[in-house]
Amino acid sequence: MKGNKSENFWQKLERPIIALGPLYDVTDAAFRRIIAKYSKADIMFTEFASADGLVHPIGGPKVRELLRYSEEERPIVAQLFTSRPEKMRQAAALCAELGFDGVDINMGCPDKTIEKQGAGAALLKNLPLAKELIKAAQAGAPALPISVKTRIGYNQIEIEEIIPALLAARPAALTLHLRTRKEMSKALARWELMPRIMELAKGSGTIILGNGDVATPAEAREKVAQYGGDGAMIGRGIFGNPWLFNLEAGPPSAKERLKVLIEHIELFDQLHGERKNFAVMKKHFKAYLPAEALAKEGLVGFDGAHNLRDELMAAPTATEAVSIIKRFLTLTKH
């Protein structure tokens, strides 16, 4: 890995910025490499990693596996979570040593285990600590831009309190999942709040991204054009679609989908096989194999697509899954 450069890359990105969001056990090193090969977001984030675990003398090397990246992914930002400023300082310093282009602090994760640590969305209820964490990361990695991903409130909308408090710590960028922690992902994202958010951020120099109910770059541009902001973050729209950010290419053929899925499975096994259960990979299968895409090209009807997915879901190993797809492609009429 090459060393990072002492500059704020956020300010050099063309607007609107289209970012690929961090999704735990989804946008891992294997999938990000596939995405970077077939399309490219303006910025990519790692899966979120525990700052405490990252700097632990025994567990650190294992957690560091979450921060694997390739040069093709740049600008690449390491996302961390903790409620302990000193651990954040140390972890940010390590990310600088590892050559990352930036560090992002997760202040929006609703996972109860994370919240019990006082991290993730719990920080929405402790804004003084949230500011301390930003400053700690800045102290640990002074050459890197420090950004934050959070929500618009915990139980209710609280942007009038949250935005000024976080901006007071001068983060390079702030991504807002436009739902409260209570809403999780069940309610519609409150994009109508973006004009007020931008008013609150005016003059701060902080880049503001919106997140929620955005599945494609086209939708991201529409949201930004309608409601404002410097860009948008896409999350679940990436499932089964590493071509998402390639605006010039047409939709991939069903066979291309299957061949790239093989590539993805093999890369997952190579990079994560010893650390992650292969079951993690299976959440991609249905997304890569939409029945309509296969049927459209006469490869297989709905039942066949369904059966193929069932076989893959039952595959115990990466080797067996790849064998199933190759066998399917061999039997398919050309």
CA-based R_g, the chain, Å:
20
Q: Dump pLDDT digits (tens) for 81-118.
A: 999 999 999 999 999 999 999 999 999 999 999 999 99
Domain borders along the chain are 9-238, 254-331
Q: How many angstroms separate the CA atoms of 317 and 278, rounded? A: 6
Q: Residue 71 carries which DSSP code?
A: G
Q: How many angstroms separate the CA atoms of 92 and 149, rounded? A: 16
Phi (first) and psi of residue 149, to 5 degrees: -120, 125
pLDDT, residue 182, reads 95
Q: How many angstroms separate the CA atoms of 92 and 142, rounded? A: 9
Helices (H), 3-122: 29-38, 51-54, 60-64, 85-97, 112-116
Q: Are 17 and 234 in contact (CB under 8 A)?
A: no
pLDDT, residue 333, reads 55
Catalytic residues: 109
Q: What percentage of the chain carries pLDDT values higher than 70?
A: 93
pLDDT, residue 142, reads 97
What is the token pair recorded at 208?
A: 């503001």
The pLDDT confidence band at residue 3, using thresholds 50, 70 and 90, is very low
pLDDT, residue 334, reads 45
pLDDT at 39 > cutoff 70 = yes
Mean pLDDT for the chain overall: 92
pLDDT at 236 > cutoff 50 = yes
Considering only the top CATH level, what class is 9-238?
A: alpha beta
Taking alpha carbons only, the member of 173, 178, 169 closest to residue 136 is 169
Mean pLDDT of 162-172: 98
The pLDDT confidence band at residue 5, using thresholds 50, 70 and 90, is very low
pLDDT, residue 295, reads 58
DSSP string, 140-172: H-TTS-EEEEEES-SSS--HHHHHHHHHTT--S
